């Protein structure tokens, strides 16, 4: 069979993966704290029909003759660039300006990490995510509190019924030596992986961590114009590889027709 036939098949599979990633990016364009994906390709092994030879005193060198055997998906990256800020005026809406992740805990006490800062109160006045995960470091704010606030350093305070200011915890941010190594676990959260490094907890505005902005939310870092451009490129790449397959098929058909 023609090698070009299988090269075209590998290209189609790769561009389908690229379209899958682009589709997920576009579907999360309005997801708070979402970090977009990116697909990269690399070539497969090449079949060598003649090796390279070194030059001699009487003859020049000759380059190798190689035919590539297609392409493969090299990586599906998560791009952890800063998303734009949207003002909400709601105290429990928090956005990180700079590096770091909020630490949230599920019912089993396992830690997850997120850039999505749309938090809420539960019935016990704990600060939780929309899925009920508790914000680590945040204390309970009593229902009798006249008001509460969250500082840029993550400190939480409230004014009690007597008009006195009380502390209600300190939100810490998690930093990683390789944030792009974090593994997405759904629900706007990440988990530590073997290549992300362990979480290092620090206060906001300390140790290279960013600041916490109350009354703002970080939007998705998906750029629609970029995604649609990549979609066009992926679509044309997919079509070009189908042409390789159909052309190879026509050549094979001519070979079959040699026998009358």
Across the chain, what does the average pLDDT equal? 93
Q: 5 φ, ψ to 5°?
A: -60, -45
Q: How far apart are CA 145 and CA 183, in angstroms?
A: 38
Q: How far apart are CA 216 and CA 85, in angstroms?
A: 6
* Per-residue tokens: 25: 């990016």
Q: Nearest Cα to 211, choosing from 167, 136, 154, 249?
A: 154
Q: How far apart are CA 251 and CA 248, in angstroms?
A: 5
Strand 183-186 relative to strand 211-214, pairing: unpaired
pLDDT in tens, 190-247: 999 999 999 999 999 998 999 999 999 999 999 999 999 999 999 999 999 999 999 9
Q: Do 92 and 128 meet the contact criterion of CB atoms below 8 Å apart? A: no
Q: Do 91 and 101 meet the contact criterion of CB atoms below 8 Å apart? A: no
- Predicted confidence band at 253 (pLDDT cuts at 50, 70, 90)? confident
DSSP state string for 188-210: TEEE--TTT---EEEETTSTT--
pLDDT at 5: 87
pLDDT at 260: 67
Give residue 64's Cα distance to chain centre: 40
pLDDT at 3: 85
Q: What's the chain's length in residues? A: 260
- Percent of the chain at pLDDT exceeding 90: 82
* Per-residue tokens: 99: 């590096």
Q: How far apart are CA 171 and CA 193, in angstroms?
A: 23
pLDDT of 54 > 90? The answer is yes
Q: Do 238 and 22 meet the contact criterion of CB atoms below 8 Å apart? A: no
Q: How far apart are CA 65 and CA 47, in angstroms?
A: 8
Query: What end-to-end distance do the CA atoms of the chain give, in Å?
Result: 20
Report in angstroms the alpha-carbon separations of 187 from 54, 116, 177, 191.
58, 9, 23, 11
Three-state secondary structure readout of 33-58: CCCCEEEEEEECCEEEEECCECCCCC
pLDDT in tens, 128-171: 999 999 999 998 999 999 999 999 999 999 999 989 999 999 99
**Rg (Cα) of the chain, in Å, rounded?**
27
């Amino acid at each position: 069979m023609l090698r070009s036939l299988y090269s075209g098949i590998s290209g189609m599979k790769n561009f389908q993966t690229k379209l899958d990633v682009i589709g997920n990016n576009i579907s999360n364009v309005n997801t708070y704290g979402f970090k977009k994906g990116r697909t990269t390709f690399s070539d497969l092994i090449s079949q060598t029909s003649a090796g390279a030879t070194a030059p001699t005193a009487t003859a020049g060198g000759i380059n190798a003759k190689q035919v590539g055997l297609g392409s493969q998906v090299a990586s599906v990256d998560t791009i952890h660039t800063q998303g734009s800020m949207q003002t909400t005026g709601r105290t429990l809406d928090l956005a990180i300006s700079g590096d770091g992740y909020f630490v949230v805990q599920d019912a089993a006490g396992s830690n997850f990490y997120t850039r999505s800062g749309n938090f809420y109160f539960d019935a016990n006045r704990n600060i939780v995510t929309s899925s009920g995960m508790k914000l680590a470091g945040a204390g309970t704010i009593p229902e009798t509190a006249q008001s509460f606030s969250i500082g840029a350093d993550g400190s939480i305070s409230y004014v009690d019924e007597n008009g006195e200011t009380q502390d209600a915890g300190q939100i810490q941010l998690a930093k990683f030596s390789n944030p792009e190594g974090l593994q997405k676990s759904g629900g706007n959260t990440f988990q530590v992986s073997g290549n992300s490094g362990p979480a290092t907890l620090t206060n906001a505005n300390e140790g290279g961590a960013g600041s916490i902005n109350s009354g703002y939310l970080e939007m998705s870092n998906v750029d629609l114009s970029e995604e649609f451009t990549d979609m066009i490129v992926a679509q044309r790449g997919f079509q070009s590889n189908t042409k390789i397959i159909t052309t190879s098929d026509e050549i094979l058909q001519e070979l079959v027709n040699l026998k009358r």
